[in-house]
A and B are shown apart, each in its own frame.
Chain A
Amino acid sequence: MVTADHYKFDLREFKFLLLEQFPLETLTQYKKYEHFTWDTAESVLEECIRFAQEVIAPLNASGDRTGCKLTEDGKVITPKGYKDAWNQFYESGWNMIPIPEEEDGMGAPALFVVTTNELFSGANTAFYMYPGLASGVQEVIEAVGTHDQKEKFLPGLRDGRYGGTMCLTEPQAGSDVGFSKSTAVPHEDGYLIEGTKIFISSGDQDLSENVIHLVLARLPDAQEGTKGLSLFIVPKYRLNDDGSAGAFNDVKVGGVEKKMGINSNATCVLNFGEDGGCLGYLIGEPHGGMKEMFRLMNYARIFTGVQGVSVASTAFLNALDYSRSRMQGSKLEDFGKGDAPRVPIIAHADIRRMLLEMKSKVETMRALCYKLAMHWDMSLCVEPGSDEEVYHKGQLELLTPVVKAFCTDQSFRVCELAIQTYGGYGYIADYPVEQYMRDAKVFSIYEGTNFIQSLDLVGRKLKLRKGANLIDFSSDIAKFCAKHGEHPVLKDEVAELELASNQLTGASMALMGFARKNINLVSLFATRYLEIMGEVACAWQGLEAAVIAHDKMQGLDDSDSDKHFYEGKIATAKFFVNNILPGVSVKCAVLSKGDDSAVTISEKAFSTEH
């Protein structure tokens, strides 16, 4: 039943990641993170878990059913309980986890932020997008705001008096952000902003006294395209000197979308300056808006990937629980015997196939997120300007679109498998998995559709540093394979990974060839190329976990729950390599063939009737 405790997670998994596969100790050796011991992490983690389970998880289903309402005078009403949860979130200070210690934060590395984000997002995805976006705005202002802007906007963003949004999309400018038309005209107090933004997440709410929008708009002398966009801070209410909400700043809510999922997060149409009274403040350089927005976007893309993992993970664990209690059918060996005992469905091979597919996708994707986070953290620890910094930054850039797109595409598929595992009950709103699937779909659409991610990967990330990012990625895998090529239980799987990684290199070459020959083919195969890379990366991360698990389980006996945990890691890696990774070779073959029928087929031939 959909109960308050729908949210399921595995604490042992988080410990494995933070202590065994990506030990925090790697980071505490550096000055930047020397304060961040597991001890500290653990106490905070425990409280975050309490908050996730006791405060926001119980609102997940009810918030979905109620959704957000728009009153006649244009105010958004969030579901019951959200306001209290918001207050408690900020009272506890969970938004301060990544903020440096000197500024009263925890100074946590990305590794840990990924963990707490997963907890909050898994417990209530739509709720967490409210503080999540406010944190994004906070981050941008911290990074590029002027001294005055920081003084003015940061305190309220930090203590929950202000929410935040990112406003890029317009009706005619979705993926093509450069086509946006909103304008900014200099004014004695800043800039007058005019334009309509749509699909704005957390666009308005009744949780905080003010909302700080980050808006992309064009200055009068701007050129066309993305290079002509500037970024503006636009509060819903102008700020009084003490930071409290003053006069209305002419940001009207034109509507709240009715939609498939994340229903308790208000997706708004926002009309800026309809009455000519919307003041904005330039942040960063004029015409440098995309660059500044990308600070937020990169962070947001990574956490969209984490959102994917978070929902997929609770979907899997709910399906697992259900499969242990649902009695249906008898053992295959007893087929045809009417009086054979009924068994829980987890006894059936096909259910186990689905469970292990979910488990292996969830855990390897999660590990990939941590891998990325480790590169991110390391890039901040090592000597600025060093080769190491270049390497870690390169990997961070390369893996960002992969994490965003692969983890979100697969998240939806995992949710679908979870429903299939339940059977009819999974389709029924009494159980949480149907909501998970509805919530998860948008992850592959917002923050740049997953196609846009693959374009970013093949069009930009592969080319950076003359292709060295991909070379570094492949050589990290090659090193792993060389080291474990003789592994007593995993050597066959390591060999498969090596093969797949070489195929990935081949596919990259083929793609470069397309770029010279027929650019349409790049676009046609970009999504599949990203998927190849995602599968190779996840197989690698799964095997890395399995190697560690194999070492650690020696000498443990069956009464030790760790023994089963480690066995699970090995089974996960083997399943992934033997059941999912083989898809790489098929996709590579398809790619090298370069069939272009999807671009050569005439539009009329798709259907003569329509």
Chain B
Amino acid sequence: MRIFVCVKAVPDTNANLKVGSDNLTINPQGVKYVMSPYDAVAASKAVELKAANEGSELIALSVGKDNKESRQRIKDALALGADRGVFIKDDAAHRDPLGVAKALVAAIKAEESCDLVFFGRQAVDTQASAVGPMVAQLLDIPFVMDCISLEIADGKATVKRSAEGRVETLEVSLPAAFSAQRGLAEERYAKLKDIMKAKKKPQADFDYAFPDAGYEVTAMTPPPERPAGKIVGEGPEAVGELLRLLQDEAKSLSF
């Protein structure tokens, strides 16, 4: 089997993000980047499947800025157990999901075959959940979102996905694409030995000429500051008023 996992560099969720002086991009200064956490779950699952299916190859793909922080995500995937990495440089300040999807598809098509493609359920920075389904559509293969379990047998995948109030079980023919929800695989910590081995694994660049985007980001503004708190009174006498406000104004309480 040939398995692909698509990973994205995103700011660490603990990072204190600030809109840059151009009012168009996040100021990357001092921001630590990581592999988007759901992508890490996807990668862990892909590694599991590779180990369970002898002769499989796992390829990590990433579209990102041509810098260390982005390229490091390929290395992260290699350290987790991917066999090789393909990096697609993209210097646009913002790239629309369709552009990213097309680039990934081009890279996948450049390989001999494709059986499984993994994504995280969403990148935690843009939170669009768009690239995965688009890639599947462009490859004309089935896509299952928010998978929480996945087994492969007889050229078919049996997948469970979480949906509102229920868990759905689906059977999908391969090739197919999936996005990972928390719980799909036990998250792995890279081992020292594997990080050292990763250094020697092949990493290639795939050149792709991105088409013009269908949209343009014209401004980026920080979220409005939280309004200052309100002191409604002091001591036990204030409780009644506080409850009334929470109930009527903030509508955060209901009895």
Give the interface of A toward B (CB within 8 A): 11-12, 39-40, 42-44, 46-47, 50-51, 88, 91-94, 96-97, 101, 104-106, 559-562
Contact = CB atoms under 8 A, between A and B. Distances in A.
A55 to B, nearest CB: 8
The winner among B21, B76, B190, B199 for most chain A CB atoms within 10 A is B190
B199 A92 contact: no
A105 to B, nearest CB: 8
A91 B32 CA distance: 26
A50 B37 CA distance: 13
A560 B30 CA distance: 8
22 contacts: A11-B32, A39-B199, A43-B72, A43-B195, A46-B72, A47-B79, A47-B189, A50-B189, A91-B189, A91-B191, A93-B191, A93-B193, A96-B192, A96-B193, A104-B193, A105-B192, A106-B192, A559-B21, A559-B27, A559-B29, A560-B29, A562-B29
Given A43-B72, A92-B192, 12 more contacts: A39-B199, A40-B196, A43-B75, A43-B76, A43-B79, A47-B190, A47-B195, A51-B189, A92-B189, A93-B193, A101-B196, A562-B29
Contacts, number: 51
Contacts of A43: 72, 75-76, 79, 190, 195, 198
A561 B29 CA distance: 6
Contacts of B72: 42-43, 46
A88 B189 contact: yes
Interface string B14-54: 00000001000001011010000000000000000000000
Nearest to A561: B30
Contacts of B79: 43, 47
A93 B29 CA distance: 32
A50 B188 CA distance: 11
Contacts of A561: 29-30
A419 to B, nearest CB: 26
- Could you tell me the dominant secondary structure of chain A's interface residues? helix
Nearest to B32: A11
Contacts of A12: 30
Interface string B179-203: 0000000000111110110110000
A94 B193 CA distance: 9
Nearest to A55: B189
Contacts of A91: 189, 191
Given A43-B76, A43-B198, A94 B27 contact: no
A101 B192 CA distance: 11
A11 B15 CA distance: 13
Contacts of A96: 192-193
B81 to A, nearest CB: 14
Nearest to B20: A559
The winner among A40, A46, A91, A561 for most chain B CB atoms within 10 A is A46
Nearest to B21: A559
A47 B191 CA distance: 8
B214 to A, nearest CB: 32
A39 B193 CA distance: 15
Nearest to B197: A104
B219 to A, nearest CB: 19
A97 B198 CA distance: 16
Interface string B58-92: 00000000000000100110010000000000000
Contacts of A42: 72
A96 B189 CA distance: 15
Contacts of A101: 196
